[in-house]
Structure 1
Amino acid sequence: SGHDLVSKLELLCKGGFSEVYTGECRSTSTPVVIKHISKKDVEFVKVNCQGNVYDEILEVVLMEQAAGRLCDGSFENPAVIGLMDIFHLKTEVIIVMERLPDTVDGLDYICEEPVPEGQAKVIFKQIVNAALLMHKNGVFHRDLKLNNILLNRNKGTPEVRIIDFGCGDFIENEPFRDFYGTPVYEPPEHIREETYKAEATTVWQIGVMLYIICTMDSFDTLVYMEEDNEVVENVSMECNDFLSQCLALDPMQRPTLEDLLLHPCVFHILKHMYPVLYHISCRTS
């Protein structure tokens, strides 16, 4: 069983349908993340592999497809957490995933010390790029938030990993009406009882995460909709512009993920980190 192969160290977090532990493989001592989900809460989807049809865990299929590891022609997306193993037990399913050394989630990361704007831009360049690749691979995470972004602290540049596809769906199923995710981060169009689309929602949730980092305050969509939202203090004009575009109450007014990659708030980071990509972008934009 999975318990024979991995050992649990400590509870990382507990959600409505699962418990997540840090641990390690007994045979190799490799650090891992271990997610326990009760069988009754697991959603399955049929997968066709080489002519044979299998029932597979929807969350796992979404995670693997978001990373570009399932279908030919998919885009490789290393920012998605890596799957290591799955165990089907009598009453629960165990999903074993990679664990980067010295890693915390985004909320813990910003609580340890304030994040300078330059570092926040580097982080968000990675998040926007990862979200764009997820969408190109046909996957809608639907619950992007700082708790679901892992960052390692042992490098000069924090490395992003996106986790928890338990609320996700395939983009081809849009427009969506029912919301699965964190209610306080839901897009305004859902509060207005309209349908919502994948890309506009992901852009909204990227804006929410940056807003929390810039203000070091909580966020609630309903409160944001009712407030006269002013410029965020102590950040640059381009950062404020990025926020106001992502947090447009009208989803039609929000930029696309590709637009966000070309926004000065992350484009200058693109130029610094990936000069070849920067020149390609200049030629194609």
Structure 2
Amino acid sequence: MIVHQVVEGVQGLHSRGVLHRDIKPENLLVETGSDTPRVRIIDLGCGCLHNNEVYSEFNGTDLHIPPEVYTKGAYRADPMTVWQLGVLLYEMLTGHVPFQTSAEVIFKKLPRIESDISTNCKDFLKRCLTKRALGRPPMQSLLLHPWLRGAD
């Protein structure tokens, strides 16, 4: 599963002290030469050192900025990354980003997701795109979610 590999890759970057800050489809390469596609995260041009501090400068794609950047002018690494993973998944499922403007990011509810997407996938997506940073799941718990564990 592509999202599973992206989460593992991002966690690997974090464990090495790197914060990517621009997780999006254009920054993923999918190797298709083997039976199982392998995902590679590329373009660390917006990256910085990963720490538990509060960041006040955002470098990344505007359409992937989490709400706290707009409302507080600051963010923490893990909740921001979880938000970007949610935007990535939404874009992979629908072909477009969930929010177009800062006002939408702050105020608009997550657009309806097609009914043919599994309940666990929808749950994972909604958790990642929770507006409150502290309401999002911790990075280290993402791989424990039933959807990433293969339950539909």
Q: In the TM superposition, what whole-angstrom CA distance separates every residue of 1:180-200 from its partner, at most 9, and x where no partner exists?
A: 111111111001133101111
Q: Which residue of 1 aligns with 2:36?
A: 157
Q: What are the equivalent positions in structure 2 for 1:90-169 lying under 5 Å apart?
A: 122-169=1-48
How far, CA to CA, are the matches of 2:129 and 2:145 in structure 1? 15
Deviation (angstroms), 1:172 = 2.8
User: Could you tell me which of 130, 135, 145 is aligned with 1:248?
Assistant: 130
Distance 1:254 1:221, change over 3 A: farther
Paired residues of 1:186 and 1:221 also in contact (CA < 8 A): no
Aligned to 1:232: 113
1:48-127 equivalences under 5 Å are 122-127=1-6
Match of 2:90 in 1: 211
The one of the two structures with greater contact order (alpha-carbon pairs below 8 A, sep at least 6) is 2
Report the TM-score, using the length of structure 2 for normalisation.
0.89
C-alpha separation in 1, matches of 2:28 and 2:89: 12
| TM-score of the aligned structures, taking structure 1 as reference length | 0.49
Please state how far the C-alpha of 1:140 moved relative to its aligned partner. 0.5
Moved more, 144-153 or 226-235: 226-235
Q: Which runs of 5+ in 2 are unaligned?
A: none
Write the distance in 1 (CA, Å) between the matches of 2:150 and 2:15. 23
Question: Which residue identity is paired with 1:257?
Answer: M
Give the structure with the larger strand fraction.
1
Q: How large is the Cα RMSD of the aligned pairs?
A: 1.7
Identity of aligned residues (%): 39
Count of aligned pairs: 148
Q: 1: distance between equivalents of 2:2 and 2:82? A: 15
Q: Write the distance in 2 (CA, Å) between the matches of 1:226 and 1:157.
A: 39
Q: Does 1:259 align with 2:138?
A: no
Alpha-carbon offset, residue 224 of structure 1: 4.0
CA contact (8 A) 2:71 2:106 kept: no
